[in-house]
Amino acid sequence: MKKLLKKLLIKLNRLCGYEIIDQNEFSFPSLKDKNYNDLSTINQKSIVMPLGEVKITRKIKSLGIIVRTNSNIHISDQNKKRIFNKDKLDYISKSLKSLIISINSFKNKFKNFKINLTIVDQSNKEDINQLFDDVFSKLDFKVKIIAFDKNEYKDEINLDYTKDIFGNLSSLFKCFNIGKQSNDDLIFFLEDDYLHKETLIEEMVMTYERISSQLNKELILVPSDYPYLYMKERKTNIFAGSHRHWQSLDKILCSFMTSNEILNKYWDNFKLTCQDHNDPIEKYLNEICIEEICISPIPSLSIHMANANSIFGVSPFIDVKNEWKK
């Protein structure tokens, strides 16, 4: 009798748009006793305790991920060494493997969600092709690999095409153009030197849905909690994402997630980013952050494997050595 009454009470509450919390056990019987951090339903509702429910009006059903790789350049436009001082191919391998783990973890939960992965590679080496074959065999969909020739944008970039920075800007331009032509709901631009948490894709997508639905605005999400954010006093806003806090930014790097609407609205800024050696490179991307909401996670979802002293490198309060070993 008690179980029957419980079921009826759950149904009545749900019909009225409410969920039940068992105060004694701090469990959620109307949500089939899901884990505390796993109460949300993609495309439907975002639940964060004790903040309650946000109805999802900005539904994300597909994601295009575009990754730039280049095993020929250790750190673009710098003479510094990376943390752990490994060969560049090792960083690319770790980065891609961690990304694939995150994609598969997400796809196991949300089987109908569509993900497209494109690699824009400048390496032109057999060893990286072998790496691609090995890593991408773990996916259940085909990856598009583009062997990129930096001279494709030779006439559009105002630099000596023999310099390393030219190749960097040219490949970035290629990624932006691919993103602009994509039909995916969101585009995730990534570089080849980030180590990703398993929950990266899930949290980025579900946080975008939640905050975009709350604010009725398109966003830019950065996956890393960079040290520069704590180097000086600045004003910021804090948002509750799907699983952690996020803070607003006034500047970003070249790894970020956004929508086609943002890409088209600020296409001139994206083009100008790639057409000259700006200082900083992201100068025109940062202008977008003045007009739109750009946010990054606290703590980080991706670790930038740059120099240990870089203000754009390893995130604070992350056991990077353990993450690297994993």
pLDDT value at residue 163: 76
Taking the domains of the chain in order of start, what are their residue ranges?
1-33, 62-325
The pLDDT of residue 27 is: 63
pLDDT of residue 252: 96
Predicted local distance difference test score (pLDDT) of residue 74: 72
Q: Is the whole-model pTM more than 0.75?
A: yes
- Return the closest-CA partner of residue 179 out of 169, 166, 189: 189
Using an 8 Å Cβ cutoff, are 296 and 249 in contact?
yes
What's the confidence (pLDDT) of residue 78? 60
pLDDT block averages, 10 residues each, the chain of length 326 = 64 62 59 63 88 93 97 72 92 97 96 97 91 94 94 89 84 97 97 97 98 98 96 94 96 97 98 94 97 98 92 91 88
Model pLDDT, residue 3: 65
Task: Name the amino acid, one letter, at 268.
Answer: D
- Report d(CA 165, CA 160) in Å as an integer: 9
- The second-level CATH assignment, the architecture, of 62-325 is Alpha-Beta Complex (3.90)
- Measured in degrees and rounded to the nearest 5, phi and psi for residue 124 equal 55, 45
pLDDT of residue 68: 97
Give residue for tokens 């280049």.
70
